[in-house]
Chain A
Amino acid sequence: MSILSYTKALNRALVDALATDPSVCVFGEDVGAGLAGPTLGLQQRFGADRVVDTPLSEQAFTGMAIGAALSGRRPVIEFQIPSLLFLVFEQLVNQAHKFSLMTGGQAGVPLTCLVPGSGSRDGWAGQHSDHPYSLFAHAGVKTLVPATPTDAYGLLASAIRDPDPVVLFAPAAALGVREDVTWELAPVPLGSARVHRAGTDVTVVAVGHLVHDALAVAEELADEVSVEVFDPRTLYPFDWAALAASLERTGRLVVVDDSNRSCGIGAEVLATAAEEMRLIAPPRRVTRPDGAVLPFALELDRSLQPSRDQLRQAIRATVK
């Protein structure tokens, strides 16, 4: 048995991919120094021509990764700050994502974007605290938000092997999670959800770090209500079949999602469940407010993120 941290799991996935597939390479800022954690030690082991420190030119090095991907490489780009994805939306969505369709299937773009530290990091303020996974799910880019170290390993391993662009958000609030690992780490297929806790009254769909909050709330409320904690792991493509199966058991739904409310992934989950699945009570979602920009002061920052108290209230509202 060993203790695996979330960041170490990402590092292990990168090491294993670099060691087993010579086409894998890493681009990003400060990846040689391993400043953000997941790339620590990679450049020493695999060389500066495979683990490439880039200047602060996000658009160019993301475009570069596309060119490398079209030339047989499997690049991984690390973005230290989630908001940097706004700079490269053009490259990721307008170029990489559209390339396969626009060329009639001549080539896919196997490109993985890793965002270690997505969402609020306490005190990093308005331009460093976004959690923009819903934007990529909306655009149709494969979007992953692992909650645990083993899922972080498994999803990153699968992302690197996937023939399409993938963005993996590692929530800042999950980076401290550690796990006792008694089994061999293995890839986790994209598009497969995981039920962390079985229940019979309410399904709580929790995204990323909020899985741990949902598990804590489910435990607190165990005498009152039986909560199933459903971790989609992949937001796009979403495991709708698993959600339908869960709602067959519970018939009630709460989504807890660290996105802005309007057009966030929580809205999509509620809409799909309402259209297609068994619901015996109006569903609820707990999200950031519409159009939220996280203010700096810790009290303000926290006040806009989904809280356990809001989740408790939402669960109780569905079983009233």
Chain B
Amino acid sequence: MTVHQLPQLDAPAGRYRMLRLIRGFEELALALVKSGTIVGGTHPYIGQEAVAVGVCAALQPQDRITSTHRGHGHVLAKGADPRRLLAELAGRSDGLNRGRGGSMHAADLSLGILGANGIVGAGAPIAVGAAWAARQAAEDRVVVSFFGDGALNQGVLLESLNLASMWRLPVLFVCEDNGYATTLPASVAVAGSALGRAAAFGIPAADVDGMDTEAVLAAATEATARARAGQGPGFLRCRTYRFEGHHTMERRAKVNYRSAEEIDAWRTRDPLPRAAAALTPEALARTDREVAELLADAERFALASEPPDPAGALDHLYASGLRPRAGAAV
């Protein structure tokens, strides 16, 4: 087993490697959901990898992110150990959150990952608060809030845009517009537009091809530079697509809200082949092999990790160590 190293996303090869890692991680998670090793399912990020990788490639280690229910890509691109993330998904004691969070709450505060989040839009004000604290302490720190097009209709996101703009905070709002809030198309859910919302609060916004890692990186670099220079928040609307369902349970539910033609059309824009073009065939083969080994190692690590002891089910409920009463008198 190798020691986890922070990803190097500053060169195209490193970015391809991360795209490949996220894709492979999500495919492995799908298999482990199917086999019953991961309970509760996942929200697969397959198809959207360019957004996480392009944005995180523009970040510094001290920068922070808040993520979403579809958060594995963000968490990995910000540097989380795939072994511990997979162990978390499997509910094991060596997971990032000691098996207490699972897919929707994966966090690693030591890396500035303030958590995936089960509530749409909920990460936005947390990101604003982290940025406020950074500014107040004169720390060089940008905070990214990832959210989907579904969050465009959450009031708290609009409140957060207002506060960030009013106070010129170093926040980058990243809208991953995959076109659907679960099954509801954005075309019948979002009046106005994502960019219109940013403009309404005086936040510079860019419309970005979210299937193109380099385009996302370029836009994120510009926005984070502005934020670091004290010029306030930025907003990226990254047009992207998830190749899988909203959640793994969709496979069983047999819902049909997207045509095969639509999905196939988006698959032709898969961000991985585009990024792979930057590598020599030898480098590509080597990277793919290394990522496959890393994921095999992650799977071994996760499966070897013990489930947490039920006696500790309420450990960590209070940071003060307060022990709550049990549910039944003994």
Q: Which residues of A contact B (CB under 8 A)?
A: 25, 49-50, 54-55, 57, 59-73, 90-91, 94-95, 99-110, 140, 142, 162-164, 191, 237, 240, 275-276
Contact between chains at A67 and B131 (CB < 8 Å): yes
Contact between chains at A70 and B126 (CB < 8 Å): yes
Contact between chains at A73 and B97 (CB < 8 Å): no
Contact between chains at A163 and B319 (CB < 8 Å): yes
Query: With contacts A64-B126, A67-B133, A100-B318 known, is A276 near B160, CB below 8 A?
Result: no
Give which listed residue, B64, B163, B320, contacts A57 with CB less than 8 A.
B163
- Which residues of B, 92-147, contact A by the 8 Å Cβ criterion? 95-101, 105, 107-110, 114-115, 117, 119, 122, 124-134, 136-137, 143
Of chain A, the residue at the smallest CB distance from B329 is: A275
Report B180 CB to chain A, min CB distance, Å: 23
Contact between chains at A64 and B322 (CB < 8 Å): no
Contacts of A50 in B (CB 8 A): 136
Contact between chains at A163 and B133 (CB < 8 Å): no
Contact between chains at B125 and A60 (CB < 8 Å): yes
**Cα distance, A66 to B124, chains bound together (Å):** 11
Query: With contacts A55-B162, A67-B131 known, is A237 near B156, CB below 8 A?
Result: no
Contacts of A276 in B (CB 8 A): 329
Report B239 CB to chain A, min CB distance, Å: 26
**Cα distance, A163 to B109, chains bound together (Å):** 16
For A59, A66, A104, A240, the residue with the greatest tally of chain B CB atoms inside 10 Å of its CB is A104
Contact between chains at A164 and B318 (CB < 8 Å): yes
Of chain B, the residue at the smallest CB distance from A161 is: B320
Contact between chains at A102 and B124 (CB < 8 Å): no
Contacts of A62 in B (CB 8 A): 125
Report A253 CB to chain B, min CB distance, Å: 18
Contact between chains at B109 and A63 (CB < 8 Å): no
Of chain A, the residue at the smallest CB distance from B156 is: A59
**Cα distance, A108 to B109, chains bound together (Å):** 11
26 interchain pairs (CB within 8 A)?
A60-B156, A60-B159, A60-B160, A64-B132, A64-B163, A67-B125, A67-B129, A67-B130, A69-B129, A71-B129, A71-B137, A72-B137, A94-B119, A100-B317, A100-B318, A101-B315, A104-B96, A104-B98, A104-B101, A105-B100, A106-B107, A108-B320, A109-B319, A140-B317, A140-B324, A276-B329
Give which listed residue, A25, A59, A107, A275, contacts B109 with CB less than 8 A.
A107
Contact between chains at B97 and A71 (CB < 8 Å): no
Contacts of B99 in A (CB 8 A): 104
| Interface flag for B258 (CB, 8 Å) | no
Contacts of A162 in B (CB 8 A): 320
Contact between chains at B162 and A103 (CB < 8 Å): no
Contact between chains at B100 and A95 (CB < 8 Å): no
| List of 5 A-B pairs having minimum Cβ-Cβ separation, nearest first | A67-B129, A108-B319, A63-B125, A104-B98, A60-B159
Query: With contacts A101-B317, A103-B101, A104-B97 known, is A90 near B127, CB below 8 A?
Result: no
Of chain A, the residue at the smallest CB distance from B321 is: A163
Could you give, for residues 306-330 of chain B, a 1 whenever the CB lies within 8 Å of some chain A CB and a 0 otherwise? 0000000011111110101100010
Of chain B, the residue at the smallest CB distance from A163 is: B319
Contact between chains at A100 and B319 (CB < 8 Å): yes
Contact between chains at A61 and B317 (CB < 8 Å): no
Report B153 CB to chain A, min CB distance, Å: 14
In the complex, besides A60-B159, A67-B133, A72-B137, 20 extra interface pairs with C-beta distance below 8 angstroms are: A59-B156, A61-B163, A62-B125, A63-B125, A64-B125, A66-B125, A67-B132, A70-B129, A71-B64, A71-B134, A101-B316, A102-B101, A103-B105, A103-B115, A104-B97, A104-B98, A104-B100, A107-B109, A108-B320, A140-B324
**Cα distance, A68 to B137, chains bound together (Å):** 11
**Cα distance, A164 to B319, chains bound together (Å):** 6
Contacts of A108 in B (CB 8 A): 318-320
Contact between chains at B97 and A67 (CB < 8 Å): no
Of chain A, the residue at the smallest CB distance from B108 is: A106
Contact between chains at A68 and B130 (CB < 8 Å): yes
For B101, B132, B160, the residue with the greatest tally of chain A CB atoms inside 10 Å of its CB is B132
Of chain A, the residue at the smallest CB distance from B141 is: A71
Contact between chains at A60 and B163 (CB < 8 Å): yes
Contacts of B117 in A (CB 8 A): 95
Contacts of B190 in A (CB 8 A): none
Report A317 CB to chain B, min CB distance, Å: 27
Report A49 CB to chain B, min CB distance, Å: 6
For A95, A102, A191, A240, the residue with the greatest tally of chain B CB atoms inside 10 Å of its CB is A102
**Cα distance, A59 to B162, chains bound together (Å):** 12
Give which listed residue, B105, B128, B130, B134, contacts A60 with CB less than 8 A.
B128
**Cα distance, A178 to B161, chains bound together (Å):** 43
**Cα distance, A55 to B137, chains bound together (Å):** 22
Contact between chains at B124 and A63 (CB < 8 Å): yes
| Interface flag for B192 (CB, 8 Å) | no
Report B297 CB to chain A, min CB distance, Å: 22
Report A187 CB to chain B, min CB distance, Å: 14
Contacts of A63 in B (CB 8 A): 122, 124-126, 128-129, 156, 160
Give which listed residue, A68, A237, A275, contacts B129 with CB less than 8 A.
A68
**Cα distance, A279 to B314, chains bound together (Å):** 31
Contact between chains at B96 and A90 (CB < 8 Å): no
Give which listed residue, A25, A95, A275, contacts B119 with CB less than 8 A.
A95
Contact between chains at B126 and A67 (CB < 8 Å): yes
Report B231 CB to chain A, min CB distance, Å: 18
